[in-house]
Amino acid sequence: MYIVTGGAGMIGSAMLWKLNSLDITDILVVDNLASSEKWKNLVNRRYTEYLPREIFLEKVKNNDLPGDMEGIFHMGACSSTTERDVDYLFRNNYEYTRTLVRYALDKGIRLINASSGATYGNGTAGFDDAPGGLDRLKPLNAYGYSKHLVDLWAKRTGFQDYFVSLKFFNVYGPNEYHKGDMKSVVVKAYRQVLETGRMKLFASDHPDYADGAQKRDFIYVKDCAEAMWWLMRNKTVNGLFNLGTGTARTWNDMARALFAAMGRKEHIEYIPLPEALRGKYQYFTEAAMERLCASGCPVPRHTLEEGVADYVKWYLSGQDPYL
């Protein structure tokens, strides 16, 4: 049996998609569906059982889970970069992860954990995932800080040598429709282009960047699932790694890829950066991928253009938008 926490989220449900593609269905899905639309991400998937997060945690604490678990993909977390309830983030992201790590290591269960590229803050300390640089990082929001604390704890205790944590960069792709303001610009812009024929991007208020020239390391969610599956099977590879493409692209590049995939004429409108984001906006992110590549893990195979085209053709404009 495999466990996928956050299994109804974008990355978690993509992992379910990958497991199902291998005809693996003995899966326990854990999430906090509440009144959200995340349940729709599970409709196309095959799995054995679903447990709400709180019930799952009680079973972990009471040692009441099946004894034949092959591995855990821990994607469950509050991923909102605008969440302001810091105590909630500590409980849900920090304590939850520490509890599950201890459990997995005690039982000898392979664990793949989700960290985040948000731990790098404004990028002035670089994007090198080598453990020696952890102490220099200063996240810009509470979400990134909650993930950073897990990374620091895993390093301090030495536990990180026995499981994998992945710093996901700008992930986009199917099954993100429930994420509200946290949806990728790809899906937001797709709706804008359909309705208005144009898309909006933030203008730059940084002298070194032209409008739309801010850069991100965009990675397609299917490539994340492929990397996680390889890491699950290669149990001698452990540590904290970046997961991106290793190549930063501009928002203008993303916009052009989207217009091309939709067969529409390019029309970009630049709007002022919201006051709430000033001083907290990342102008450049690019995952250093040397350490993960050196492990033998396959690098992402979709270029930005290929990922956006696949997303648009088979999901955003398809009859069934879900993986």
Active-site residues, by number, are: 143, 179
Q: How far from 158 is each of 71, 120, 152, CA to CA, in Å?
A: 20, 21, 10
Reference 224, options 145, 302, 132; nearest CA is 302
Cα separation, 231 vs 240, whole angstroms:
12
- For residue 144, the SS3 value is helix
- DSSP conformation letters of 206-266: STTS-TT--EE-EEEHHHHHHHHHHHHH-TT--EEEEES-S--EEHHHHHHHHHHHHT---
Pairing type for strands 215-216 and 249-250 reads antiparallel
The residues near 190 (Cβ < 8 Å, ≥ 6 apart) are 258, 262, 312, 316
